[in-house]
Amino acid sequence: MALQQANRALKLTTPLGEDVLLLTAFEGHEEMSRLFSYQLEMISDDNAIGATDIVGKNVTFSIEMVDDTPRLFNGFVSRFVAGDEDDQGRRNYRAEVIPWLWFLTRTTDCRIFQNKSVPEIIEQIFGDLGFSDYEVSQIKGAHPKWDYCVQYRESDFAFVSRLMEQEGIFYFFKHDDGKHTLVLADQKGAYEIAAEDEVDFPHDSSAQAVVDHITSWEHAWEFRTGKWAHTDYNFETPSNSLMTAEQTVIDLPDSSKYEFYDYPGIYGTTGDGTPLAKMRMEEEEVGYDAVHASSRCKSFSPGFKFSIGQHRTSSEEGRSYVVTSIRHSATEPMAYETGTGTVAEDYSNTFTCIPDSVAFRPARTTPKPVMRGCQTAIVTGPAGEEIYPDKYGRVKTQFHWDREGKKDENTSCWIRVSQIHAGKGWGAIDIPRIGEEVIVDFLEGDPDRPIIIGRVYHAESMPPYELPGSMNLYGMKSNSTKGGGGYNEYVFDDTKSTELIREHGQFDKDSTIEHDLREHVLNDRSRDVTNNETVQIGNDRSETVGHDETLTVANHRIESVGVNETLSVGSNRSRTVGGSETITVAMTRTHSVGINEAILVGAAREVNVGGAQTIGVGASQSISVGANQNVSVGKNLSESVGKDRTEKVKENRTSDVGKDDSLKVGKKLTINAGDQITIKTGQASITMKKSGDIVIKGKKITIEGMQKIEEKAAQITSEAKAKNLVKGALVNVEASAINTIKGALVKIN
């Protein structure tokens, strides 16, 4: 006769059909924030059930409770075993049934979540895998968004488990016919009420047979630490202490002496650290008060609560507990066929529960991946950008394992970059550019806390100097942005005997020295300025040239001295001006030449002195003018010649004196003219000719000698048209030959 389960206490529903597999026994373990696992034993007339028929499929099994309602269990078959056949040709089978959440253990990934809370991350992962049988409505607490959260080489299940453990989120399952629902919660109000909401632990055995009941009860208390403290560091508020602490609510003598202290707390503000400290303390308190018991209560399940009715210890009566873990065991070996004997079902469980006033917190048992060493990554940013930092000099990268990143500004969080100095407003800055490969380390090995510590070349980004040919070079070369095409460079060439420091600026260079600048060049120095050069010196300037100096100005040169200028030339000085030269002296100018000075002007020369001018020549001075020379003196002109003065004019000479002219000669005065000398004023004149003639003309001529006047000549004629008067105390008129005195009237007295 075919197998049937209609009248059985244990029932099983599978995709194979109603009575294909009969459930004969099961064992199972359920626990808060853990995957459940049920081991089923079955029998079937079909001895050829294949793996594809059942593995991975959803099944529901149940056990009949005292009130004839089924206690349902639902899950997926993860493992199916075909055993031996019995004497009647029926084959034994075994199966393991797990929750849909178990499938998350079958997939691993490396990916990045940004700006999402833990509940949002969990929902995204569930949705990506197509799971929707879950509830998040019992998550009531604040769960801040994570700037950056990494799943790295771990299963989806391990990832969501450690996140929930970190933030105090627990879960349990509710079972229905055809499905089970994952309940996520973070507070005690999420506990469900068990179907057997009040149970007894009776004294007499007769009462035990009437209803499902507790069969054993051990209440245990365990010493727990009295304080939890932790801290962290936030580089955006480096001076702020992030220390937070929480005291236990458990009243135990001396527990306050003991403290769990941890770092890092994985938070950025005390506002986030305080609830985390409370959560860690609650995690520690969960194990303080627990009951280990056994029962026949089939409805018990993690996350479901019940109260105590009758109890062998009266102090327990009326208390309420929530189941945190349970292990089921049930068998029904007989009555495979309808009407073949009575059902001999046997069920029992062992369970652990805690007071329902305690908020369950999962223990942090899921390890977080540890980055065992550095990784490299590529710097990323928005399209069209070449450098993409934030105000701290942080950049974004794409790791080589990140298959979801788009190599843009959203690939990672902002990652801090190590610099050789990082002071308060001083230090070094070298921002990795988009496309560069950087070396990334992780603080505490935490994949959520990357930091860039270096940079490396690769085949698409080679060094600026060809290697190994340029292996002697050491330096730095930049690239103009945006678009490239230029660079700034500072490089050392350490090649022996030709060592070189090379500096290149693509555009401008600004150099500011707050105090002194000293340059010591042991050999030659060359400076080539293609365009203009401006040198501004606020105070004194001293320039010493040990040997020759050559200054060549192709066009104009202007030199302006605000106060005094002293030019000292130890030997000769030559200055050639190809065009014009203008020298303007606002006040006094002194020009001193120790020996000779020659000034040669090819054309005209003009010297204009606004005030006084003094020219002092220690020895001889020679002035040679190739053409005309004009000397204009606004007022007086004074010349002093220590010895002789010679003036030679090849042609004419004119002297024009506006007023008086005075000539004083210490000894002799000689005026020598080649043809004629004329002295003239008004109607009077004296003319001397080279023939020897002298003509003295005047309206009135007076010749007066204080002692003696002598006139000697071969012939002297004295003629007056009116009157000729010769008068004196003694007058001699004497002739060696003839003395003629002639007149109309001659008086001799």
CA distance to 582, 599, 670, per residue, from 673 (Å): 41, 33, 10
Model confidence at 337: pLDDT above 60 = no
C-beta of residue 242 within 8 angstroms of C-beta of residue 267: yes
What pLDDT was estimated at residue 423?
A: 93
What is the pLDDT averaged over residues 721-737? 67
Weakest mean pLDDT among 266-270, 410-414, 673-677: 673-677
Q: What ranges do the domains of the chain cover? A: 10-101, 370-462, 473-498
User: Taking Cα atoms as reference points, which of 346, 348, 297 lies closest to residue 321?
Assistant: 297
Give the neighbor-by-neighbor strand order of the sheet with 244-247: 244-247, 227-230, 259-262
What pLDDT was estimated at residue 309?
A: 96
pLDDT band at 568 (very low <50, low <70, confident <90, very high): confident
What pLDDT was estimated at residue 563?
A: 78
What pLDDT was estimated at residue 737?
A: 64
What is the pLDDT averaged over residues 160-181? 98
What is the pLDDT averaged over residues 172-192? 98
What pLDDT was estimated at residue 741?
A: 67
Residue listed under structure tokens 């499905």: 179
What is the pLDDT averaged over residues 473-494? 93
Each residue's pLDDT tens digit, 461-475: 999 999 999 999 999
Q: In 10 A of CB 722, how many CB atoms?
A: 4
Model confidence at 368: pLDDT above 60 = yes
User: Taking Cα atoms as reference points, which of 234, 237, 242, 167 lies closest to residue 443?
Assistant: 234
What pLDDT was estimated at residue 643?
A: 82
pLDDT band at 415 (very low <50, low <70, confident <90, very high): very high
pLDDT band at 748 (very low <50, low <70, confident <90, very high): low
What pLDDT was estimated at residue 362?
A: 98
* Mean pLDDT across the chain: 89
What is the pLDDT averaged over residues 52-62? 97
Model confidence at 134: pLDDT above 80 = yes
What pLDDT was estimated at residue 711?
A: 74
Question: pLDDT above 70 covers what percent of the chain?
Answer: 89
Model confidence at 728: pLDDT above 70 = no
CATH topology for the 370-462 domain? OB fold (Dihydrolipoamide Acetyltransferase, E2P) (2.40.50)
Burial (CB count within 10 angstroms: exposed 0-12, middle 13-18, buried 19+), residue 336:
buried
Q: Alpha-carbon dihedral of residues 350, 351, 352, 353, nearest 10 degrees?
A: -140
Weakest mean pLDDT among 262-266, 535-539, 620-624, 664-668: 620-624
pLDDT band at 432 (very low <50, low <70, confident <90, very high): very high
What is the pLDDT averaged over residues 37-66? 95
Task: List b or e across 356-373, with b for residues whose CB sees 16 or more CB atoms inside 10 angstroms.
Answer: bebbbbbeeebebbebee
Residue listed under structure tokens 């808060």: 32
What is the pLDDT averaged over residues 479-502? 93
Q: 3-state DSSP call for residue 673?
A: coil
What is the pLDDT averaged over residues 692-710? 82
Class of domain 10-101: mainly beta
Q: In 10 A of CB 352, how many CB atoms?
A: 19
What is the pLDDT averaged over residues 674-694? 89
What pLDDT was estimated at residue 341?
A: 42
What is the pLDDT averaged over residues 450-467? 95
Rounded to whole angstroms, how far apart are CA atoms 507 and 503?
12
pLDDT band at 738 (very low <50, low <70, confident <90, very high): low
User: Taking Cα atoms as reference points, which of 187, 107, 173 lies closest to residue 142?
Assistant: 187
Rounded to whole angstroms, how far apart are CA atoms 97 and 59?
8
CA 511 vs. chain centroid, Å, equals: 22
